[in-house]
Amino acid sequence: MSTTTTSKVLPPINIRKWAEDHIDDFRPPVSNKYLYRGEDFFVMVIGGPNARNDFHKTASEEYFFQLKGDICVQTIEAGRIVNHVIREGDTFFIPSNVPHAPQRGPDTIGVVVERKRPDGETEHQQFYCDNCNELVWDEEFDCKDIVEHFKQSMEAFWADPVRSTCSCGTRVEKPAPVARIDTDPQVKIVRQGED
């Protein structure tokens, strides 16, 4: 069962087993797969590692439950990046219109619940400069399929030297997958190939 439509009552699903059965579907950059696609909301299971440096901003709320391992969800609040460490077993809620960037290390499994977007409602995929923290690109689009469309939008941004270069001259490159997330003494996202 790859995508479940909630048009009828279905038997319970063991998420851990489901994630194990679909492990090959969790591929960077986003590493997500639909569990349910209902009329009002959808549920995704998201495995790690991911390889993202974008921020997602939508007019709807998002609910996170971290089933296995610890992750970091970065948000833009008052013009700065804030790191929220979501430990195994924790939940996390993001209000509407808050740019956020989930960072997931290897062997992590999370569940994210989002409202289904009505036709014509747009959302944003934003990229910020690692050097000066300025907004480099804001892609506004009507996302028909978050699993496929997000990946396509990211790849197009990274491949375009004009869109992916900040006014300070720094290029926002395609990131390597997350290798680990250090949390002591401060949060640091370590990517594969870095020490």
| Cis, bond preceding 185 (omega within 30 deg of 0) | yes
Predicted pLDDT at 5: 56
Q: pTM of this prediction?
A: 0.90
C-alpha span between 192 and 195 (Å, rounded): 8
Contact 46, 31 (CB under 8 A): yes
Delimit the domains of the chain by residue range: 4-191
**Beta strands at 123-128 and 54-57: parallel, antiparallel or unpaired:** antiparallel
pLDDT of residue 188: 96
pLDDT at 2: 41
The pLDDT value recorded for residue 161 is 97
Q: What is the pLDDT of residue 79?
A: 87
How far is it between the farthest Cα atoms of the chain? 54
Helix (H, G, I), strand (E, B) or coil at 143: coil
- Mean pLDDT for each consecutive 10-residue tract of the chain (195 residues)? 62 93 88 89 93 94 97 94 97 97 96 91 92 93 76 92 97 96 94 90
Q: What is the pLDDT of residue 142?
A: 82
Give the pLDDT score at 10.
Answer: 83
CATH no. for 4-191: 2.60.120.10
